Structure 1
């Protein structure tokens, strides 16, 4: 019952609908209709990017604020009822997974309706990777929500989105010799978004995805989550 209430609460949130559904859908429609967005690779990159941008917004803005405004209530409930903190975390994880899948599904439906996407193994791979990235950003959103108040999160939501996007957008996809591009690409390799795009690229080109790419995706997710936790704990702006 509580899980259903939490899910309905998010679906009725205008902020969720605008920033994590409508905005990514708008960019999907724009990107697939510009001249260079042709071919399976670019269409799959557009699908992967717009899906994860929606997931990013859901996790770092909507989810973090929801945690910030409700965590105290559920903490008290956990002490006075059988609804434990573990159950709270489990329910939030399920809600986030459902919402992230919904975001991805809407992008796929748009692509299918517009005859830009056909169901394939690559689309399934993108879906699985998107859910992984969703869990990654949800953990970050959870830590933000439990350590900062809603006002602070409102003020920082746009910078968070920009920073998160920079770690995902394939800056050097065409192997530019520009030194600045190469530096940014090197920094991106520290984060899982780089390997998310790399795996989509290889899957689209029917290249066997090496175990190393999957390993780096998992490893960078764990390591950067640890670094984010440390930075949050040392932040002077914590509650």
Structure 2
């Protein structure tokens, strides 16, 4: 346990010192928030959900998504390419502790990202819901951030270090555009509607509003998030095993 805690601290320090982490997970979503919150009245409702609340949830989701797809994937890819895992095998630190520490530290950072984005939104315009509801939404985004963490592990394990950043950023931008984070799919053209509702990001942002204002969460939304989580879990395990065998 002490080894895991120490390694988690090391991973946290590494990540916080990374400018890419600060840009994609903190600066980027907050900048988006300030730009878009002033384009539309915060009390205007989209699909029955106040714009200021939907935007806050979307920006927090962007932060945790960028953390996994950009920061974690690039860090893992660099570690694999530089032979870090090979060195771990001959050290007291096991590869399993190394991977678990990356997941745990990323979850901790995602919690901070959600806290910061929610804090900025509450101070700037308020959100119009109770503190308990705010906590529930924050926990929802935090728990579902495991999807982007797993995706980051898959990219970091399978994609070479010189391409991981490009691939991670590319997927990040595609999900940003197609995931319905800022524009509801019902305002998009038909094929984008179909794609949006097949992606987990749409439901990660949409389900909290459904629960709070419609009291009818989409059950298939939970199933889609679960399917992505299971598939990415299997792929991440396969990718790590393949990388370790390939370098043994």
TM value normalised by structure 1: 0.82
Give the 3 Å change call, closer, same or farther, for CA 159–216 of structure 1 in structure 2.
Answer: closer
Q: Which residue, 34, 41, 46 being the options, matches 2:50? A: 41
CA contact (8 A) 1:28 1:47 kept: yes
| Deviation at residue 73 of structure 1 after TM alignment | 4.3
CA contact (8 A) 1:74 1:88 kept: no
Equivalent position of 1:109 in the other structure: 119
Equivalent position of 2:202 in the other structure: 194
Equivalent position of 2:70 in the other structure: 61
Give the 3 Å change call, closer, same or farther, for CA 78–158 of structure 1 in structure 2.
Answer: closer
1:100-140 deviation digits (Å, cap 9, x = unpaired): 11111111111222242355343233322322332111111
Equivalent position of 1:219 in the other structure: 227
Equivalent position of 1:12 in the other structure: 17
Larger mean Cα displacement after TM superposition, 113-122 or 39-48: 113-122
Count of matched residue pairs? 231
Q: Gaps (5+ residues) in structure 2?
A: 1-5, 240-246
Q: Gaps (5+ residues) in structure 1?
A: 232-238
Equivalent position of 2:134 in the other structure: 123
Equivalent position of 1:236 in the other structure: none
CA contact (8 A) 1:41 1:205 kept: no
Q: Does residue 1:90 correspond to 2:100, yes or no?
A: yes
Secondary structure of the structure 2 residue equivalent to 1:187: helix
CA distance in 2, matches of 1:182, 1:120: 37
Q: Which residue, 187, 200, 203 being the options, matches 2:211? A: 203
Give the 3 Å change call, closer, same or farther, for CA 125–206 of structure 1 in structure 2.
Answer: farther
| Deviation at residue 212 of structure 1 after TM alignment | 4.1
CA distance in 1, matches of 2:70, 2:40: 32
| Deviation at residue 50 of structure 1 after TM alignment | 0.7
| Deviation at residue 19 of structure 1 after TM alignment | 1.9
| Deviation at residue 220 of structure 1 after TM alignment | 4.0
Give the 3 Å change call, closer, same or farther, for CA 220–14 of structure 1 in structure 2.
Answer: closer
CA distance in 2, matches of 1:73, 1:108: 39
Q: Does residue 1:149 correspond to 2:160, yes or no?
A: yes
CA distance in 2, matches of 1:230, 1:86: 14
TM value normalised by structure 2: 0.79
Secondary structure of the structure 2 residue equivalent to 1:5: helix
CA distance in 1, matches of 2:198, 2:67: 23
Equivalent position of 1:235 in the other structure: none
CA contact (8 A) 1:104 1:127 kept: yes
Equivalent position of 1:51 in the other structure: 60
Q: Which residue, 1, 7, 17 being the options, matches 1:2? A: 7
Give the 3 Å change call, closer, same or farther, for CA 129–185 of structure 1 in structure 2.
Answer: farther
1:19-61 deviation digits (Å, cap 9, x = unpaired): 2111111111222222343256212211111111112221111
